[in-house]
Amino acid sequence: VTVAMLSSAELHFSLLELLRDRSAPLLRFTSDDAMLELHGDSGNYSIGNLAIDLLLDRQGTKIETFRGTVRDLEFALDGDLAWGSFAKVEEAERLTTTPRGIDPTTRVIDLSPLVRWLELIPDSADGEIALDLTLSRPIDPAAFSLSGRLAGKRVNWREIAARDVVGEFVIAGRSDRSSPSLTFPVFEFGIDEGRVVASGEWDFATRQIRLDSLETDLNPASVAPLLAPERRAMLASWPPGTWKASGILNLVDILDSDLKGAFSSPGTVEIPLPNRRILSVSGLAGEFSWEDRLVRLSGLRALLGPASRVSVECDAAFRLPPKSGTDQAESRAIQIERFTMARHGQTLRASGSYQSAARLVAVHSLQSTLDLAGVFADLGLIDPISGRVKFSTPPIITLAGTVAMDSVVSGSNLAGTFTAKDRMTVIVGEGRVVECSNLSTGFALNKGRLKLRDGATAAFGGSIRLPEATINLGARPVAFEGEIGFESLQLESLSDLLRLEKRRTGRLTGTFKGKGPPDLATITGVGHIGVVEAEFGSIPLFRKLKPLLSVITLSNWGSEAEGAGLNASFDFLNGVMSSDDIAVKGDFYEVHAAVRVDFPREKLVANGHVTTTGATRVLTQVVGKALEVEATGSFDDFTWRLKNVPGLGTVADLYGLSKDLIGKTLGAAARSDLPAAILNGVKGLGAAGLATDALKGISGAGGRLIGIGRKKDKDQRSESPAVPSPERGPDSGAKPPPAK
């Protein structure tokens, strides 16, 4: 119910004219500086400073003057108004050819639409709003129209403060008596530093705005007060830019709108990232469409970083928050149909999607030739790459699968390839680096397990192959299972990497297949190893045999620079390495041994047999078992002993012994006297001097046993592993020839 109360008014009529001319005005209604109060269910409104001059006849009302003030709005109205515009008319009456509603004395005016429109009237603190209105009376009394112009320097509408408002509009009734619509050929206003220019139609029945055109450089955050609190966070604070749009804006639910357009923003926006990092975005531009809560971005492009050296371009689609009862998971999916990142002619191309509810990234495809370390640097972000690895040219990466943002290692499922054609430097800590080239591998990550396949690279002057391997990244310590092969690796380079006291020489070839943490104390597996072109001192386990070799090789063996080779198969079981076929061969000697090395206890046990080649082979055949040796002890304190030579301690004890004593000792062990001619050949060789040189070079053997290992205190003792059987050379057991 709406009640109108007018403080003062005058009513004029001429009874004589009414009798003479039925078309003459019936009444004249005037008021000056009156007050009109409207009381309705939706609120109370007061119109002050009211000046009225109305002419009423049987068809309607002619408004000569109708002006006043509502809130801080000054308005002026003139025109014609048919009685049917506001009258309540029954459906049957509306359908008659000649309505009965021509007599104003029989009409009841419905003022509720006027009250509803008053709800939309803006407010102004300084009263600088002017509203000019014109009413028209068409042939159909129901289809009235109200045109006007609104202007003001400052207009408050709900929580929004607009400035420099200019608007032209027409409110038109409809013959079906449904709610009228408001057409605005032009509507301009400013908010904060931005401005809006629009044209279109506002349908009061559907509460939708049809935008014929909209252009604005308004900051979206400026209209945040119009949205519910939970939706305000969707409006990021963008820099000044230009938005152009057309379509349907749904005021019932803004997310159900249907729009399309374009946007550009030449300014820079700073997006906060974790760890107090900031991502700078500039030159943002693109096109968009918005239909059925699905937003598509086409040709979206931007420059990233403080210096804008990284460019991105993408096509994407995402769903806005759904209505209740719809699929929540689907609604939160962001589809990246095309994504390109470029820097200095290098590119990364990808496609995929992002599920915000599950925080899951699906990578449909990814190909990259980007220098990723350079990208992080140009973005002003922490570089997680160059501190560990450097590339002379960017690697080539392909990738597909899913990435779990909350648990990247354990929750992701990825597969791809990695290729680095040129030099790559890997930093392994403490200033040590590994350089390799032509690196390529396939990989797959699933539930924390990284599988590598067909891996290959050139490193340490040779090559390394990784046919298949699995690394359990979730294990502590990280565990390895697979096969690795290496060929012609330079021991000099490995010595530099491991920072060994003595630089090894030679080339290393071998294979290993096993599993366990990358620690010799726990790993299990089998393999084969071969060393060629090595100095004798480069084979640490046998280095302490040098005094013996100095004695039994009667010529041409002057220093440990003499070339040596090693071949052996081995197995690891719970940190214990066993080998029954170690063979060390030099130009003038051979050593065959069986060795067991206990890495957890840092103990070793070895049995071996020494022979010589060439002319001196006769000597070793004569002495036979006298040259069988054994070793036992810790990595830091082990010695080689002659097993079958009584009275002689270690091989090192050969230093300082006379040739006669050596001959007698070895001869006794062989159960025959050594030929004097052979013993005389020892003269001048300087065997004692050679042994002295070797002994001077022997110190702390923990890491030097095989170039790796851990050092323990010398007084620490533990049980030694069982003694293996030696693998002898082909002539190691030969009997001395018969006397001639």
**What would the pLDDT profile of 529-544 be if each residue is shown by its tens digit?**
998 888 766 566 666 6
Give the per-residue pLDDT at 504. 77
SS3 (DSSP) at 294:
strand
Sequence-distant (≥ 6) Cβ neighbours of residue 671 within 8 angstroms: none
By C-alpha distance, which of 263, 251, 321 is closest to 293? 321
Give the per-residue pLDDT at 72. 65
Average pLDDT over residues 149-177: 78
Confidence bin at 710 (pLDDT 50/70/90): very low
Q: Are strands 73-82 and 60-70 parallel, antiparallel or unpaired?
A: antiparallel
Mean pLDDT, the chain, whole residue set: 73
Give the per-residue pLDDT at 317. 93
**pLDDT tens track for 229-253:** 666 665 555 566 898 999 999 988 8
Average pLDDT over residues 608-630: 61
Give the per-residue pLDDT at 514. 92
Q: In three state form, how does the secondary structure of 528-566 look?
A: EEEEEEEEHHHCHHHHCCHHHHHHHCCCCCCCCCCEEEE
Give the per-residue pLDDT at 419. 96
Angle ∠(175,176,180) on CA atoms, nearest 5: 75
CB burial class (10 A; 0-12, 13-18, 19+) of residue 107? middle
Answer with the residue of higher pLDDT: 327 or 699: 327
Give the per-residue pLDDT at 396. 94
pLDDT at residue 185 is higher than 70: yes
Average pLDDT over residues 83-90: 44
Give the per-residue pLDDT at 84. 47
Least confident of 62-76, 340-354, 554-568: 554-568
Average pLDDT over residues 205-223: 86
Answer with the residue of higher pLDDT: 616 or 183: 183
CB burial class (10 A; 0-12, 13-18, 19+) of residue 58? middle
Give the per-residue pLDDT at 485. 96
CB atoms within 10 A of CB 562: 18
Token couple for 491 = 């021991």
By C-alpha distance, which of 296, 241, 285, 290 is closest to 262? 285
pLDDT at residue 557 is higher than 80: no
Residue 297 β-bridge partners: 288, 316
Give the per-residue pLDDT at 20. 64
Q: Are strands 181-191 and 258-273 parallel, antiparallel or unpaired?
A: unpaired
Average pLDDT over residues 397-412: 90
Note the Cα 345 to chain centre separation in Å: 22
Least confident of 212-221, 390-399, 482-491, 548-557: 548-557
Give the per-residue pLDDT at 469. 93
SS3 (DSSP) at 716:
coil
Give the per-residue pLDDT at 479. 87
Sequence-distant (≥ 6) Cβ neighbours of residue 373 within 8 angstroms: 383, 385, 386, 390, 391
By C-alpha distance, which of 76, 54, 78, 58 is closest to 67? 76
Token couple for 257 = 């709108």
Residue 109 β-bridge partners: 87
Give the per-residue pLDDT at 522. 82
Sequence-distant (≥ 6) Cβ neighbours of residue 201 within 8 angstroms: 181, 182, 183, 184, 209, 210, 212
Token couple for 721 = 């592993």
By C-alpha distance, which of 267, 249, 272, 274 is closest to 259? 249
CB atoms within 10 A of CB 205: 11
**pLDDT tens track for 475-520:** 888 888 999 999 999 988 888 887 877 777 889 999 999 998 877 7
By C-alpha distance, which of 629, 606, 462 is closest to 531? 462
SS3 (DSSP) at 322:
coil
Contact assessment for residue 651 and residue 641, using Cβ atoms and an 8 Å cutoff: yes
Note the Cα 566 to chain centre separation in Å: 47
By C-alpha distance, which of 258, 156, 266, 250 is closest to 209? 250
Contact assessment for residue 665 and residue 647, using Cβ atoms and an 8 Å cutoff: yes
pLDDT at residue 673 is higher than 60: no
Does the reported pTM lie above 0.75?
A: no
Average pLDDT over residues 459-483: 91
- What is the rounded CA–CA span in Å between residue 167 and residue 236? 29
Answer with the residue of higher pLDDT: 504 or 396: 396
Average pLDDT over residues 139-161: 71
pLDDT at residue 98 is higher than 90: no
DSSP assignment letter at 718: -
Answer with the residue of higher pLDDT: 423 or 476: 423
pLDDT at residue 400 is higher than 90: yes
pLDDT at residue 216 is higher than 80: yes
Give the per-residue pLDDT at 211. 94
Contact assessment for residue 202 and residue 211, using Cβ atoms and an 8 Å cutoff: no
Give the per-residue pLDDT at 686. 32
Share of the chain above pLDDT 70, in %: 62
